Amino acid sequence: MTEKPKTGLALAFDDWRALINDDWRSLAIALYMVLVGYGVLVGIPVISTAWVTKLGFTEVEVGRVAGMDLGGLSAGAVVAAWAITHFNRKLLVVIGIFIAVLANGMCLKYVDYDTVLWLRFLAGFGSGIYTAVAMTVFGMSIRPALAYNLMLFSFAFSQALEMRILPQLSMNGIYWVFIVCFLLTLPFLGWIQSYPKPRSIATETQETNTSRSFNPLLAWVCLFAIFLTYINIGAYWTYIELAALDSNTNPELVSEVLVWASLCSLLGCFFATLFSNRFGLLRPLLIALLTMATGVGMLAFGINEPKFLMSVFTFNLLWIFTDVYQMGSLASFDRGGNYAAYLPAAQGLGQIVGPNIAASLLAINLGYQSVFIMCWCAAMLAMTIYWILYRHLRKRYPLIADAT
C-alpha cells in the first residue's frame, strides 16, 4: 500500500522538524546574529530622527550617514562572501564584532558629522561581515526558504522592540545597545560551524545537478531586483518619520504608528506563506511590489494623517511579504548557499543608494514629494524585472516559475 504524500499542516510540520534537526544551535545563533546585524536597517527611522534631534544633523546629512552605515553593511557582506570559503567562520564573526564594537564605541566620543560619517561606515562594515556569516548558515540549511521565513517572522518583533525602546534612549544609549548586542554573541561562538559541515555524496550530487540546470545569471538577477527593492525601502524608511513631522503630523501619532505598524510584518509573513502555497513565489511578489509602490507613491501628493497611516501600514505589511518571496526565489537558484552571503550586500547597497539619492533630491530643494516618487520608480523597476524573470521561467522552467 503506497503512502499518500503529505500536504498542508502535515507537510509544514515535517519541514519544520527537518529544519530544526538539521543543526538547531547554528540556526539559533544565526537568527540572533541577523537580528542584531540588521538592527540599524530596521531601526533607521528612529535612529535618523535621533541624529537630527540629538546631534543636530540636517536632513541631508542624515541621508548621507544612513547611506554610509548601510553601505558599509554591503561592503562587509561582499568581503565576507569571498572570505567565507577560505577562512574560519568563527574568526570572521569575531573580526566583524571587533570592528562593529570599535566603531560604535568611537561614536560615543566623536559626534561631529565628518567623523560620524566614516565611523558609521566602519560600524556597518563590521556588521556586514557578521551578518553575512549568519545568512550563509540559513542559505546552507536543509530548508533555506523556511529558514529565511523564520528570520523574517522574527524581524517583526525586533523591529517593534527597537521602535519602542530606542526613542527613549540618548544617542549614546542607542550605540551602547548595539555594542552589548554584538558582544552577547561571544559566549555562543561555539555554536557556529567553523567550516561547512560535510554532506553526503548523494546530496552534493543532487545539488550540483540542480545548480547546473540553471544559468547563474538568474541568481544575480534576483539579487539585482532585491537591490532595487531596497533602494525604495532604504529611502522610504530613512525619511518617513522626518517627512511626516515636516507635514505637521502629530508626533505622538507618528511614534505610535511606527511601533504598531512594525507588527504588521507578522501578518505579512503569515500571508506570504499562505499565498505561496497557493500561488507560488513570483506571482504574489509582483502584486505585492505593485501595491507597495502605490502605498509609497501616494505620499508624493502630500502627507496627512490618513495617508500616513495607510502608507506606513501597507509598507510594513509588504516589506516582509516581499522579502519572503525574494529570498525564497533566490533559494530556488542557490541550492548550496553560494549566493546567500550576498543578500546583505544587495540589501545594504540599496540602502546606501536609496538614502543618498533622497538626500540629493532634498539638497536641491525638490522636497519629500520627489523622494517618494523616486521610491515608487525603484519598486516598479524591481517589479518589472521579476515580471520578465517570471515570463522566462514559465517558458524554460515552468515548475520553478510556480514553485512554493
**How large is the average pLDDT for residues 375-403?**
84
Kindly tell me if the per-residue pLDDT of 203 is higher than 50.
no
The answer to whether residue 390 scores a pLDDT higher than 80 is yes
Q: Nearest to residue 336, comparing CAs of 171, 202, 210, 176?
A: 210
pLDDT tier at 251 (50, 70, 90 boundaries)? Answer: confident
357 pLDDT tier (thresholds 50, 70, 90): very high
Task: Give mean pLDDT, residues 174-201.
Answer: 82
Q: Is the pLDDT of residue 227 over 90?
A: yes
Residue 210 has pLDDT above 50, yes or no: no
Q: What is the pLDDT of residues 265-294, one digit of tens each?
A: 677 767 766 776 677 777 888 888 999 999
Cell digits for 301?
Answer: 501628493
Q: Does 114 or 205 have the greater pLDDT score? A: 114
pLDDT at 1: 43
- C-beta atoms surrounding 96 within 10 Å: 27
Cβ contact 177:169 at 8 Å:
yes
Least confidently predicted of 15-24, 90-99, 307-316: 15-24
Residue 337: pLDDT band with limits 50, 70, 90: low
> With 90 as the cut, is the pLDDT of residue 177 above it?
yes
Q: Which residues contact 210 (CB under 8 A, 6 or more apart)?
A: 335
pLDDT band, residue 13 (cuts 50/70/90): low
CATH 1.20.1250.20 is right for the domain spanning 30-188+210-401: yes
Query: What's the pLDDT score for residue 67?
Result: 82
What are the angstrom distances between the C-alpha of 26 and each of 93, 110, 143, 302?
13, 36, 14, 47
Residue pair 42/155 in contact (Cβ under 8 Å)? The answer is yes
Give domain limits for the chain: 30-188+210-401
Question: What pLDDT band is residue 48 in, cutting at 50, 70 and 90?
Answer: confident
- Mean pLDDT of the chain, nearest integer: 81
14 or 41: which carries more pLDDT confidence? 41
Give mean pLDDT, residues 63-70: 85
Instruction: Give the length of the chain.
Output: 404
User: What local confidence, expressed as pLDDT, does residue 24 receive?
Assistant: 75
Q: Does residue 402 sit in helix, strand or coil?
A: coil
| CA–CA distance, 276 with 286 (Å, rounded to integer) | 12
pLDDT reported for residue 117: 92
- The larger pLDDT score, comparing residue 23 to residue 124, is at 124
Q: Please give the Cα distance from 152 to 328 (Å, whole number).
A: 11
pLDDT exceeds cutoff 70 at 9: no
Cα–Cα dist 83/85, whole Å: 5
pLDDT digits (tens, 9 = 90+) for 135-167: 888 767 656 666 777 777 787 788 778 888 888
Give CA 33 to chain center in angstroms.
Answer: 13
CA distance 353 to 70: 9
Average pLDDT, integer, range 18-33: 77
Rounded distance, CA 144 to CA 137, Å? 9
Q: What is the grid cell recorded at 10?
A: 502535515
User: Which pLDDT score, from 0 to 100, does residue 153 have?
Assistant: 76
Least confident of 3-7, 126-130, 246-250, 299-303: 3-7
Name the residue type at position 32: Y
